[in-house]
Amino acid sequence: MVELAALADRVRACTTCALAATRTNAVPGEGSPTARVLFVGEGPGYNEDRQGRPFVGAAGSFLNQMLASIGLSREDVYIANMVKCRPPENRDPLPEELAACAHFLDEQIALIAPRVIVPLGRHALSRWFPGGSISRLRAKARRVEGRLIFPLYHPAAALHNGGLRATIEADFRALGDLLASLGAPEPSTPQRATTHPPPTEPPAEAHRPSTTHLPPTEPPAEADQPPPGGSQLPMF
Ligand code: URA
């Protein structure tokens, strides 16, 4: 898609924050421009900075494995980060760096229009759930700003804490179930307008009033029906 390529060029040329001075390569993101799922990491690490590509180190190998476990490849999804340039020594991105870079992710979301966004880890989580806890919010779909947000632990968490591996595997299976419940890929014709009953479950955390909690164990929706627990919010 021309617009995504142009956006990537702007990311590579960006000098808005101090990370530009220490990067080897900016890492705009990669994947399908029409992906149904957008994964959002924290920021490039050493290997990503060298190659200019997201999730190409050890955490990336685990992410690839997890994608394969639910029948997806990197080409099926889009992979981006909160900040597009590596923070030195892999420190956490600073608030001003996150703020300076946020519009790039917003633009990626608008262009790709994914049905599901998967924040990986607490930094990405905070884009949709400021102050939220990844351990409490993980592996449940909630609607924020009209899109389904399905947070997962960052893949690197499994590398640092082997005990989390089984949890992350199970959480990816739940993501696969959610995607299956959404049915066939987006039709090319506009969706017909339908009214839906209000959600029966309150949001788990009241950060955003429009958030809807969608249990991943809901039965599959019909291909042309709204997702389980669909609300009066716009379809995604
Ligand atoms: N960790 C991230 O958050 N992003 C990457 O691209 C690689 C590792």
- pLDDT number for residue 187: 52
Alpha-carbon torsion (126, 116, 57, 88), positive or negative = negative
- pLDDT number for residue 195: 38
Q: How confident is the model at residue 13 (pLDDT cuts 50, 70, 90)?
A: very high
Q: Per residue in 76-121, pLDDT tens? A: 999 999 999 999 999 999 999 999 999 999 999 999 999 999 999 9
- On average, the pLDDT of the chain sits at 84
Q: How confident is the model at residue 164 (pLDDT cuts 50, 70, 90)?
A: very high
Is pLDDT at 153 greater than 80 in this prediction? yes
Q: Which of 81, 89, 127, 153, when mutated, tests ligand 1's pocket best, judged by the most ligand atoms within 8 Å of its CB? A: 81
Place of tokens 């997890």: 66
Q: Which of 46, 63, 79, 154, when mutated, tests ligand 1's pocket best, judged by the most ligand atoms within 8 Å of its CB? A: 154
Q: Who lines ligand 1 at CB under 6 A?
A: 41-45, 48, 54-55, 59, 81
Q: Per residue in 28-49, pLDDT tens? A: 999 999 999 999 999 999 999 9
Distance 216 CA to ligand 1 centre (A): 26
Lowest mean pLDDT among 122-136, 191-205, 219-233: 219-233
Q: What is d(CA 115, CA 35) in angstroms, rounded to the nearest whole number?
A: 8
Q: Which of 24, 48, 49, 125, when mutated, tests ligand 1's pocket best, judged by the most ligand atoms within 8 Å of its CB? A: 48
Atom of ligand 1 nearest to the CA of 53: 6
Number of helices (H), then strands (E), belonging to the chain: the values are 9, 7
Distance 55 CA to ligand 1 centre (A): 5
H helices of the chain, in order, are 2-13, 19-22, 46-51, 58-69, 95-112, 122-128, 134-137, 155-160, 165-181
- pLDDT number for residue 143: 98
Distance 6 CA to ligand 1 centre (A): 22
Asked if residues 86 and 44 have their Cβ atoms less than 8 Å apart, the reply is yes
Atom of ligand 1 nearest to the CA of 121: 3
Nearest CA to 28 out of 46, 47, 14 is that of: 14
Distance 90 CA to ligand 1 centre (A): 10
Sheet-wide strand order for 116-119: 30-31, 78-81, 37-41, 116-119, 147-149, 141-144, 213-214
Q: What is d(CA 166, CA 235) in angstroms, rounded to the nearest whole number?
A: 32
Asked if residues 43 and 126 have their Cβ atoms less than 8 Å apart, the reply is no
Q: Per residue in 167-223, pLDDT tens? A: 999 999 999 999 999 987 655 444 443 334 433 333 444 344 344 445 443 333 322
